[in-house]
């Protein structure tokens, strides 16, 4: 750990502070008492130490006021929670995102497997207005490093601008602009079962695995189900079916799980019937999950169906299992960061806070090693602002994740 003077004079801190200063401040010029950069740093440090609401951010700053004065220029004391809230809902989202993406790019290697999924911030829905809906943010998540990379808010008029499907296309194009010559394997839930998305993946040369429900793709999900059931009835003599079984040898959480993966790569009979609908789709997949609940001695069986590009069954198995990383990430946002209890509806507040939460999640994730996320984050509450800032600026590379 370096001293406060060396930390302030270091290139990384000066560059970080300079980037924060470049974010445009939309507050009235004659009424500004606290710098935008100082307020944003207080929010980041407080969130890293385990705080989740604005009053906790202020309490953190007051507890370490003497130490924060050595790092920041707090001429008018600690900002109030109303000031911090006003800054979050008035700061331009794209400016803040540009800064955090630069920091993320310095820490991460190029991803090979990513998942895309949306999440509602439930408390942002105003129940007094029937026409309003909660803020929905789609995230592009690195399944290998287990960190979010990009995110995009779904348009309020979801039917008019494509909803989550439009946000997925936006994120894929954005990622391709940053890495135009790289290949990628994409995993998407049922919301991605869309012709435009499969065409875009084919155009960008990305492999994909998309969950498809029975009623989606103009009822094509039902045809896929019937095809698999026909092949499974004569599994021993089927030439089209490939199979992989994965079973957990130990009882975990009172359950014993067995997953069987199937793939059919011969789709010539389907292409003749559906033509453009199957643009980019080279195979179909099925995952049969059999869960034995030990106490009840009851087995629950569930089948899921997928459309995929040209991949093998081993890749299909790996990508689908890693897709649950983004689901656990959403669980952490709800339970550790209390995101669903955030009632900040005004302006861009919900989006900006969601962006900062993801950045802090990445910092904790890259430094946690063998401990769980909650244990690692709870340890930060005993660190000083200097130590927290050092952790953000001098975090190790991706190899620290176990």
Alpha helices in 81-215 (DSSP H): 81-90, 93-107, 158-161, 163-178, 195-204
CB-based burial, 135-151: b 16+ in 10 Å, e otherwise: bbbbbbbbbbbbbbbbb
pLDDT of amino acid 241: 87
pLDDT of amino acid 397: 42
Cβ–Cβ < 8 Å for 388, 5: no
* Phi, psi (deg, nearest 5) at residue 302: -140, 135
pLDDT of amino acid 162: 58
* List of the chain residues with pLDDT < 70: 1, 128-132, 156-162, 214-219, 268-278, 396-402
Cα atoms found within 13 Å of the Cα of residue 365, Cβ hemisphere only? 25
pLDDT of amino acid 367: 81
pTM of the model: 0.88
| CA distance readout (Å), 341 to 85, 333, 373 | 15, 10, 20
Closest to 285 in 3D by CA, of 258, 257, 310: 310
Length of the chain equals 402
pLDDT of amino acid 44: 93
As a whole number of angstroms, the distance between CA 59 and CA 239 comes to 66
| CA distance readout (Å), 97 to 94, 196, 304 | 5, 27, 35
As a whole number of angstroms, the distance between CA 364 and CA 147 comes to 10
pLDDT of amino acid 402: 32
3-state DSSP helix/strand/coil % of the chain, to nearest 5: 50, 20, 30
């Amino acid at each position: 750990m370096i001293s406060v003077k060396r930390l302030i004079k270091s290139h990384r801190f000066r560059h970080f502070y300079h980037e924060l200063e470049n974010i445009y401040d939309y507050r009235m010029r004659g009424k500004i008492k606290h710098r935008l950069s100082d307020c944003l740093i207080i929010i980041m440090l407080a969130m890293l130490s385990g705080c989740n609401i604005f009053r906790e951010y202020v309490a953190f700053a007051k507890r370490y006021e003497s130490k924060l004065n050595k790092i920041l220029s707090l001429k008018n004391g600690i900002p109030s929670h109303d000031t911090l809230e006003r800054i979050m809902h008035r700061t331009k989202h794209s400016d803040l995102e540009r800064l955090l993406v630069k920091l993320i790019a310095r820490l991460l290697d190029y991803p090979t497997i990513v998942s895309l999924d949306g999440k509602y911030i439930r408390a942002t829905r105003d129940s007094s207005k029937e026409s309003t809906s909660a803020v929905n943010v789609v995230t592009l998540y690195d399944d290998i490093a287990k960190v979010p990379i990009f995110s995009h808010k779904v348009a309020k008029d979801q039917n008019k601008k494509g909803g989550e499907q439009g946000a997925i296309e936006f994120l894929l194009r954005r990622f391709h602009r940053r890495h135009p010559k790289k290949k990628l394997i994409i995993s998407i839930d049922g919301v991605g079962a869309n012709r435009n998305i499969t065409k875009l993946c084919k155009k960008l040369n990305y492999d994909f695995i998309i969950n498809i429900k029975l009623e989606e793709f103009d009822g094509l999900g039902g045809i896929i189900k019937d095809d698999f059931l026909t092949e499974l009835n004569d599994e021993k003599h089927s030439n089209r079916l490939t199979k992989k079984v994965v079973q957990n040898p130990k009882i975990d959480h009172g359950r014993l799980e067995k997953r069987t993966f199937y793939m059919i790569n011969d789709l010539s009979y389907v292409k003749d019937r559906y033509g453009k609908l199957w643009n980019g789709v080279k195979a179909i997949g099925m995952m049969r999950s059999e869960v034995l609940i030990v106490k009840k001695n009851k087995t629950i069986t569930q089948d899921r169906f997928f459309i995929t590009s040209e991949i093998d069954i081993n890749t299909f198995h790996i990508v689908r299992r890693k897709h649950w990383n983004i689901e656990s990430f959403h669980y952490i946002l709800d339970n550790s960061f209390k995101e669903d209890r955030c009632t900040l509806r005004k302006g861009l507040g919900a989006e900006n806070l969601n962006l900062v939460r993801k950045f802090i999640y990445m910092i904790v994730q890259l430094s946690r090693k063998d401990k769980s996320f909650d244990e690692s984050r709870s340890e930060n509450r005993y660190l000083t602002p200097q130590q927290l800032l050092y952790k953000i600026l001098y975090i190790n590379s991706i190899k620290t994740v176990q």
